A = this chain, B = another copy of it.
Amino acid sequence: MLIVMKQDASDKELNAVISRIEENGWQAKPIPGGERTAIGILRNKGPIDPALFIDMPGVRDVIPVSKPYKLVSREMKPDNTTIELSQGDNKVVIGGEQLILMAGPCAVESENQALEIAYAVKEAGAKIFRGGAFKPRSSPYSFQGLGEKGLEILAKVREETGLFIVTEATDHEVLELVEEVTDIIQLGTRNMQNYRLLRRAGQAKKPVLLKRGMWATMDEFLMAAEYIMSEGNNQVLLCERGIRTFTRHSRNTLDINAIPYMRRESHLPIVVDPSHAAGRRDQVIPLAKAAAATGVDALIVEVHNQPEKALSDGPQSLYPEQFKKLVDELRQMNISV
């Protein structure tokens, strides 16, 4: 934290700021400049709220300096984290050379539907099957997922196809159930700051795919990952899924700038969800290719065999043949899928 004093700040005002810093147990370091004095704050643990000083007499501005997170930062751990899934001989590494594809329907609707899609995406090149059993829905009148029955179907998909599973836990109790079955626990965008759920995920023994809140700054997103890691779970995947902007031509805006930024700031693997970032099928393939071009570690894509009849998010789901086309186009870009 840096406190910038006004040009005409008096010594008394300067000293009052220094006192407030010291009362909080921190150390004040005045930095006299040409026109004015600034005061650095040292020895603070965690971030300081700028507003603590902003209304003191003589203060012109207050500027945060430290990043609030530690465990997730590349500074703490310079080399990339990789996440390994294995089931017998079958092994997948996320964060290595290969772009890992996760694909499947928004919601698990029936065993037949899940298996049919699973075989299709597996053949196209997917390694991980996605599908929601517990669904957060913006309308109370919409289909809310099959619940435990959905988890059973996912277990069956895993067993029959050899695909690994990623599925969402919508609250800390649901996480208990999901954890039994899934290979990766997904936390949704609306739950990015559901702290009880984050803590519980931090106690799980499975990797956690954390979706960025559609409103979240990078600091906030990385702090949510910090919550999980602070409980002991180092297996976190950072998933960019589109942010809310003023635009109206897509449901969200894929924050493609965030990808190099996360790579710089953090050692954790990066996943992109082009389906939610688009919200409409005709933008999914371009977004997926754009993300792949930046070198992300995995994509999570909605695929449905009958999207026009899907019980949830059909309109942004690719047809299986479109997913296959996407994989072909990624390979034409010389990306190892």
Contact = CB atoms under 8 A, between A and B. Distances in A.
Contacts of A34: 42-43
A140 B256 contact: no
Interface string A281-310: 111001101111111000000000000110
A244 interface: yes
Nearest to A280: B51
A278 interface: yes
B294 A282 contact: no
A61 B67 CA distance: 9
Contacts of A31: 29, 31, 40
Interface stretch (A84-92, A109-117, A218-226): A218-226
Contact of A314 (B4, B49, B261): B49
Number of this chain's copies in the complex: 4
Contacts of A246: 215, 217, 243-246
Interface residues of A, number: 107
Contact of A42 (B33, B60, B293, B332): B33
A279 B227 CA distance: 23
Given A42-B33, A141-B230, A255 B247 contact: yes
B63 A2 contact: yes
A12 interface: no
Nearest to A197: B171
Contacts of A257: 247, 249-250, 252-254, 277-278, 283, 287
B136 A54 contact: no
Residue with the greatest number of chain B CB neighbours at <10 A, chosen from A2, A193, A256, A308? A256
A75 interface: yes
Interface string A44-80: 0111011110110000110111111000000100000
A228 to B, nearest CB: 9
16 contacts: A139-B223, A140-B223, A140-B231, A190-B193, A215-B244, A215-B246, A217-B246, A217-B248, A217-B249, A254-B256, A256-B256, A260-B282, A260-B286, A261-B283, A286-B295, A290-B293
B278 A289 contact: no
A43 B309 CA distance: 17
A206 interface: no
A55 B282 contact: yes
Contacts of A6: 75
Given A247-B255, A286-B293, A286-B295, 8 more contacts: A61-B65, A141-B230, A217-B246, A243-B253, A245-B246, A247-B258, A254-B256, A290-B293
Contacts of A67: 60-61
A249 B261 contact: yes
A223 B138 CA distance: 7
A325 interface: no
A174 to B, nearest CB: 8
A264 B282 contact: yes
